């Protein structure tokens, strides 16, 4: 009983630190001590701690490499060029700009992970909207929603996907093929709702704007990212962890940047966000303690068996609900071991729930919390009521239709 209470209390403390971030302390300032408490008090055995560390090690290595790769691509001007591409495509039309943001945010999220969309693309969207003289709200909100929804496609698109990838038993390519239709359906639902919800903002005429300069395309960054993306499925064939491919891409960019003195080794280390990596590992240990002390058994009674359409819908619904209650990272850590008993289809349904579901509330994912902070830094007010209304209109529909698309993919392609 004491272990159960202690585990839940430590998880609550970790989530409080991640959501509120009092005194602007990093998430690890709460998660690492909480993990130490559950370990030292015996709420989680040492062998389970080693097991979690072994499971999360490659995931953390991949995350560090992608963060460095995205940061160095930004330094090369890749995201500035993206802003120029969006503006030229939009031709001073807010609806066309929304379409450009949807396409670009979906691709960036899928290829460089949702962190790149939130941290690096969101400021570019603000700047592009300002240069065009259009209202930024629909385009900025699109970045927030797509950082979650558009992360369904690849194992490398989201930390949740990486945590679940090994449990699916799928190759990189098969994972992408199965998730392609749910990815497209979910994005289409979001776009349709956004066009109606933000109709007034999108119909407002743009103010006077300066002519858009054609930015230089950073070919080296584009080629490196493309080669890294191609490397993921190739490495999967030879059973090579995606972390090594991402590391190779980051090293290529780092060597170029260092040789041209555009960055320094301390800058690269900072880009890897070591405190956040420590947070992910500590969170895994705390969630394991909660699972070991009752949550796993409780979820086992709730989570359905099988991969029929009703079972997949129920699995995705439970995952979405849990993500909004305790955040999507703890939710996927708790649910994947249980869902894997029903096969890869059930694990993919969990990912549909934990990736689309967080658009319902601020606390659903760390990406949304980070996006909110960036929006506030740009003096853009994010209203809870408006955010929640948009979430209620998009999330249930996207969740149901994407899960139905997953069921269809499983029947057509096979797991």
Across 96-105, 157-166, 271-280, which has the greatest mean pLDDT? 96-105
Structure tokens at 192: 């349709």
**How far is the CA of 220 from the CAs of 51, 183, 254, 258, in angstroms?**
39, 28, 12, 14
| pLDDT of 324 above 60 | yes
CB atoms within 10 A of CB 131: 16
Nearest alpha-carbon partner for 324 in 14, 4, 15: 15
- pLDDT higher than threshold 90 for residue 15: no
pLDDT digits (tens, 9 = 90+) for 342-396: 999 999 999 999 999 999 987 788 788 778 878 877 777 777 788 889 999 999 9
Number of C-beta neighbours around residue 289 at 10 A: 30
Model-level pTM greater than 0.85? Answer: yes
Task: Record the tokens describing residue 237, joined without a space.
Answer: 């064939």
Contact 190, 393 (CB under 8 A): no
Interatomic CA distance for residues 356 and 149, integer angstroms: 5
Q: Which two tokens stand for residue 22?
A: 């009092």
User: What pLDDT score was predicted for residue 209?
Assistant: 59
Q: What is the pLDDT of residues 237-250, one digit of tens each?
A: 888 888 899 999 99
Confidence band (pLDDT; 50, 70, 90) for 210? low
Asked whether 329 and 283 are in contact (CB, 8 A), the reply is yes
- What does the pLDDT read at residue 233? 87
Residues 6+ apart with CB under 8 A from 391: 359, 360, 361
Q: What is the pLDDT of residues 59-90, one digit of tens each?
A: 888 888 988 998 899 899 888 888 888 888 88
pLDDT at 211: 57
Q: What is the pLDDT of residues 147-172, one digit of tens each?
A: 999 999 999 898 899 889 988 999 99
pLDDT tens string 33-60: 999 999 999 999 999 999 988 888 888 8
Q: Please report, for the chain, the start and end positions of each structural domain, with discontinuous segments joined by +.
A: 45-280+288-413
User: Residues in the chain, how many?
Assistant: 415
In sequence order, what are the residues at sequence separation of 6 or more whose Cβ sits closer than 8 angstroms to the Cβ of residue 143? Answer: 101, 105, 117, 118, 121, 122, 125, 371
Given the structure tokens 């998430």, which residue do they identify?
A: 27
């Amino acid at each position: 009983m004491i272990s159960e209470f202690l585990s839940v209390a430590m998880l609550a403390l970790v989530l409080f630190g991640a959501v509120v971030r009092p005194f602007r302390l990093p998430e690890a300032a709460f998660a690492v001590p909480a993990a130490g408490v559950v370990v030292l008090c015996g709420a989680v055995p040492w062998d389970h701690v080693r097991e979690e560390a072994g499971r999360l090690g490659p995931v953390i290595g991949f995350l560090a490499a992608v963060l460095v790769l995205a940061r160095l691509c930004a330094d090369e001007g890749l995201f500035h060029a993206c802003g120029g591409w969006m503006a030229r495509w939009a031709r001073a039309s807010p609806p066309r700009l929304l379409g450009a943001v949807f396409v670009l945010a979906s691709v960036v999220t899928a290829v460089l992970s949702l962190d790149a969309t939130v941290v690096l693309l969101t400021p570019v969207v603000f700047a592009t909207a300002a240069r065009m003289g259009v209202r930024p709200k629909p385009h900025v909100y699109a970045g927030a929603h797509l950082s979650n929804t558009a992360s369904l496609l690849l194992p490398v698109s989201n930390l949740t996907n990486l945590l679940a990838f090994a449990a699916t038993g799928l190759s990189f390519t098969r994972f992408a093929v199965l998730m392609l239709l749910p990815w497209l359906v979910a994005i289409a639902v979001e776009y349709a709702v956004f066009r109606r919800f933000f109709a007034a903002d999108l119909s407002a005429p743009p103010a006077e704007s300066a002519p858009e300069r054609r930015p230089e395309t950073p070919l080296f960054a584009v080629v490196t990212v493309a080669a890294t993306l191609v490397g993921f499925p190739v490495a999967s064939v030879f059973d090579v962890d995606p972390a090594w491919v991402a590391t190779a891409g980051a090293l290529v960019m780092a060597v170029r940047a260092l040789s041209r003195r555009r960055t320094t080794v301390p800058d690269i280390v900072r880009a890897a966000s070591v405190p956040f990596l420590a947070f992910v590992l500590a969170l895994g240990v705390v969630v394991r303690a909660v699972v070991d002390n009752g949550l796993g058994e409780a979820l086992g009674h709730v989570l359905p068996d099988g991969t029929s359409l009703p079972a997949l819908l129920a699995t995705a619904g439970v995952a979405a609900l849990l993500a909004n209650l305790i955040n999507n990272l703890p939710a996927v850590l708790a649910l994947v071991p249980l869902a894997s008993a029903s096969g890869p289809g059930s694990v993919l349904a969990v990912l549909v729930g934990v990736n689309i579901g967080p658009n319902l509330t601020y606390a659903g994912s760390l990406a949304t919390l980070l996006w909110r902070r960036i929006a506030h830094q740009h003096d853009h007010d994010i209203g809870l009521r408006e955010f929640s209304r948009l979430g209620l209109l998009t999330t249930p529909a996207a969740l149901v239709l994407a899960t139905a698309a997953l069921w269809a993919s499983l029947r057509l392609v096979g797991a």
